[in-house]
Amino acid sequence: MKDLLPIAIIQTSLVWENKAANLSMLATKAAAVKGAAIIVLPEMFNTGFSMQPDLFAEDMKGETVQWMMALAQQKKAIITGSIIIRDEQGFKNRMLWVQPDGTIHHYDKRHLFGYAGEQDHYTGGDRRVVVQVNGWRILLQVCYDLRFPVWARQQPQDDGKPEYDVIIYTANWPERRSMAWKTLLQARAIENQAYVVGVNRVGEDGNEIYHSGDSSVFDPVGSMIYQVAHREDVHTVYLQAAELQDMRTKLPFLKDADQFTLML
C-alpha cells in the first residue's frame, strides 16, 4: 500500500431537502481540496436526513450520482457519502464510492434508526462492503451502524491479514448524543486496530435538531488525529501505512480475536 493516504473531510451545514443548493455549496467547498485521494461528505449530503424518500430518491443514473462522477473526474479523487436511492427493493440510504474512472461501489446502511422511524421509509442493507484505493482497504459504514460493533468487527482473512485498514463513517449525528459519537468512533479504532474517519454535518436540520459536527479521525490505537465541533470545516488528514503496520506488529492482538460468522 502507498505510505500516505490523504483523506479530505467536508464538515458542513446542509440546506434542508434542497438538492440544488447542497450540490452547489459542496462543489464550492470541494474546490478548495488539494491532493486528496478521497473526499468524504456527510450522510444524505444532498437533502439532510429526510424521511421523504418518495420525493427525493434517485436511481443510480440520477442527478446526484452524475454530479459525484463529474466531481470525481474533476478532482481526480474518490467521492463518498450517502444519498437516497430507489432500487427494485425500495428506498435505500446508500453510501456511494465514486471513483475518477467512473467505477461506482456502494454500501446500503444496515442499521436503520428506529428512533426517527427510518425503518418505515427505507430498506436496510444485507452486506458489508470493503473497497480499495492505493492498496488501502476501507470498510464503508453509515451513521447508526456505529452503535453495533459486531457489524464493523475485523474478520481475519485466509492469508491471516486484517480485513481492512480504515473505517469511514458518514453521518447526520445530533449534538445531544455527541459523546456517544466520539466515544464509539475511538472504540472502533482501538478494537479493530484500524484508522477510523467519521464525517458528520453541523447546524440545525428541518426538524430543529442541532448537529455539532465533531467529525473525527482516530489512529489504530485510538489517539485523536483530528476533531472539529460547531463549525464548518474542510480539512485533509494523511493516514500513514508505516504507522499502521508498526502498531499491528508491536501489538498483534487481532491474531487472538474470537472467530465468528455474521448471520444476517
Where in the sequence numbering do the catalytic residues fall? Answer: 43, 109, 143
- Which DSSP string corresponds to 75-106? HTSEEEEEEEEEETTEEEEEEEEE-TTS-EEE
Amino acid at site 137: R
Per-residue cell: 224: 485523536
Gap between the Cα atoms of 215 and 175, Å rounded: 11
- Is 61 exposed, middle or buried (CB count within 10 Å of its CB: 0-12, 13-18, 19+)? exposed
**How many angstroms from the chain centroid is the CA of residue 80?**
7
Residue with cell 508491536: 250
The span from the CA of 79 to the CA of 105, in Å, is 11
Residues present in the chain in total: 264
Q: How far is CA 92 from the centre of its chain?
A: 15
